[in-house]
Amino acid sequence: MSTVSTDSAKHDTPSGSNIGSSPEGMPTGLNNGALNQKLGHHSWGKLIFLGALSVVLSSFTPFFLLAPAPLAFAFLLFGPLRTVAVALFFTVLIFALVFKTGLSLVSGGVFLLALAYAAIVYIIIKRKMNPVTGLMRYGFGIVGLAATTIGVGVWSAGISLKPYLLQVVTTGINEIKSNAEYGQLVSKGGEDIRALQDMMQDPNGIVQELLQWSPSALFVMVILTLWISLFVVLRNSSVWSSNRPYPFDVNTLINFKAPDFLLYGLIAGLAFAAGGDLIAGEWLQIVGMNILYAVGVFYFFQGVGVFLELLNSLKILGLFRSIIVVFTIFSAWKMVALIGLFDNWFNFRKFFKKNNEGDIV
């Protein structure tokens, strides 16, 4: 079994390609050539455009995972001083809109987090660090810092977390129920709507779920966001490579190999999840499931690489390939993680026919 991959081929930065295409297969929605033309002249207007794009992405739930990428491009093209200056301008603007128009405060928080992720991507590239090593090192660091900050904040505030969350959840439920759109949604009926209504009738249950699964949810969200940010930036390296030479490309990230030590976490998680209730009660079983989800995200990355290699060997390219990848990732992510796990023993890639004309999603 291999350790964290640090020996991926080093080479010149790949040239631009069409939207959704590259050597391996994951759609990015960013065209290297077009983006290179737009950002070729490093003006303040381009920098403001990147900041505004990050603000927009931060405001929409499915797209906030992409919000760090424009700011990472800004760091690489314009440097940290100008990027932070523009980011602070947009931060002030966002919070002004929060008080003037009622814009959700969450958007401002997401934007600041996006700035932090972008800075980490910039540091990884500036230091010429292997992207997988950077993902592991800074990912674990962010999780540790976040957990410590939350713990110290709760302790210093002298509040009990569960009653506080119950108050927040109850307030949120009341606001949703008072919304006219919620009434229209309920009037349509259906099994999903009834399940939603039942859930909203039990704020205690919601708080219990939050407390149980928040550790793994935090960990997975941090690691996944950093991985996506690195992926998009490395996928479009021709935009910034002339400013910041970097010896690794996106294939280093795609060919991710989970480190051996994660197996110990996997074994512990399985043991606790299967028999934790018999040993120390339900809480240990919940701990085991959280460990499994946290460890599983790394095997998911490895499984994605195997799946892309399979599509590449089958010469499934273009838009159809992108649809298959997106559908598989969202509907069968557990299966993808299992494939990544077993790849450590079976090395599925050796069974695939080599084809160098693939895409990267």
Residue with tokens 């249950």: 205
Query: Which letter does DSSP use for residue 236 in this model?
Result: T
Q: Please provide the average confidence, as pLDDT, over all residues in the chain.
A: 82
* Distance, first Cα to last Cα, the chain: 27
For residue 7 the two structure tokens come to: 């020996």
**Domains in the chain: boundaries:** 26-157+218-254, 255-355
Q: Looking at residue 288, what is its pLDDT?
A: 93
Sign for the CA dihedral angle at 132, 31, 117, 159 comes to negative
Looking at residue 265, its amino acid is G
Q: What is the mean pLDDT of residues 170-175?
A: 82
> pTM score, two decimals?
0.78
Q: Looking at residue 42, what is its pLDDT?
A: 63
Which of the four pLDDT bands, split at 50, 70 and 90, describes residue 243? confident
The phi and psi torsions of 118 (rounded to 5 degrees) equal -60, -40
> Using CA atoms in the order 257, 259, 260, 264, what is the torsion angle rounded to 10 degrees?
-120
Query: Which letter does DSSP use for residue 353 in this model?
Result: P
Which of the four pLDDT bands, split at 50, 70 and 90, describes residue 36? very low
- Euclidean distance between CA atoms 137 and 144, whole angstroms: 11
- Euclidean distance between CA atoms 17 and 339, whole angstroms: 29
The answer to whether 25 touches 325, Cβ cutoff 8 Å, is yes
Which of the four pLDDT bands, split at 50, 70 and 90, describes residue 103? low
Flag whether pLDDT at 98 surpasses 80.
no
Which of the four pLDDT bands, split at 50, 70 and 90, describes residue 359? low
pLDDT per position as a tens digit, 54-69: 999 988 877 888 999 9
Better-scored residue on pLDDT, 119 or 359: 119
Q: Looking at residue 224, what is its pLDDT?
A: 93
**Residues making up the chain, counted from first to last:** 361
**Percent of residues, the chain, with pLDDT higher than 70:** 85
- Euclidean distance between CA atoms 14 and 22, whole angstroms: 9
pLDDT per position as a tens digit, 338-357: 999 999 998 888 888 665 55
- Euclidean distance between CA atoms 30 and 19, whole angstroms: 6
Q: Looking at residue 38, what is its pLDDT?
A: 45
Flag whether pLDDT at 10 surpasses 50.
no
Flag whether pLDDT at 134 surpasses 60.
yes
For residue 238 the two structure tokens come to: 């021709």
Of 83, 61, 227, the C-alpha closest to 142 is 227
Using a 10 angstrom Cβ sphere, with 0-12 exposed, 13-18 middle and 19 or more buried, the burial of residue 351 is exposed
C-alpha of 29 from chain center:
16
Better-scored residue on pLDDT, 98 or 340: 340
